[in-house]
Structure 1
């Protein structure tokens, strides 16, 4: 399955008030690795950017004046995401804006072009109930570096979200939204990893070293021995630790 991490920036919060997309950023993820393939465009929304939105993303009307309209980039965007499963934080927001843009061009909806959507905000709320689950909070919680993030930007946020999603899905199933399942309703399903016949290659020395550093970081995060460390400790060492 091909994944595309996607984020948009807009002129305002409400698509029903005629607000438009002004930036699209997409990052490809394959084999749990971020690839070098991406899609990024600033878009002339043909309307003003709200002051509140500008304070969030820092994209002004002047910056967008010479940029292409959505109609000029729509086909290239759809070519990039077609057939993929999208990963979006608060998917309803971005999909709502994208659907509105596509419908203006008689290009259907996102459900007509992609396999489904993984909403990382829904996943985070399941994993961390009662906690803040915006992108900054998840970066702090999962040890993802976002120090270079001064403003929200679609491509930068997609890159950060890709790392956050990979950190949240360490050996776990993914929550997938089937966009084609009924009007106004989303069905969810889990990919049962145990049903997949996957190869088991021997790790290289470099991979083993990376794994050791990763487990040490987990131990530090839980302020003790994480489950992996506990399971792999020698019996005598485990009894000493107890």
Structure 2
């Protein structure tokens, strides 16, 4: 039997897609995005055998009593051996969040998670549902978002609350989102690079699209203190001593 932590505030999707003009404050949205990308970057580049989640979406991001993000549902996840750049497998995921290249070729890489996370960023910016949105021209959310971004006219699709509270940060997050949802996986940044870029926004640093993709990361093997786990050097939570890797192994051994 597995005992899971009770997550009292449900999913990010539930908090975003509410009736009325107000939803999560912008500061919470940006923080949740950073907490989520830290978790995914940990899976991709810090543990001994990289793991691709394969179903990154707002419904799989849980929020606890302090609205701290916890990435959930590893039922579709796959190990990727370090010596391989990807694996061929049947496409799996959720409509609206699928990496189109993975869907059509069956080649799974960590950039598929990057694409799905980019869709989550678009969702945070717009409060539109990726699986059901359709513009007046019949475009899905991702295509319509990229079209408006290239035209320099994102305001019609952005959430008014995000514009009001986020200011210039909204434009920066939009730039990162567009980098993540590029059609070719090779043109997308790594999850670690996305993490650095989002952290840079919170720290009021400037990140351009070019250095988002090209920036070299030298500390991939540093243990990251992310919301999903507690640093074992800290006594802040002595009851939570499992790493994310150990948690995943338990889930694989005793599936739900």
TM-score with structure 2 length normalisation? 0.23
If asked which structure has higher relative contact order (CA below 8 Å, sep 6+), I would say 2
Larger Rg: 1
Q: 1 or 2, which has the higher strand percentage?
A: 1
TM-score with structure 1 length normalisation? 0.24
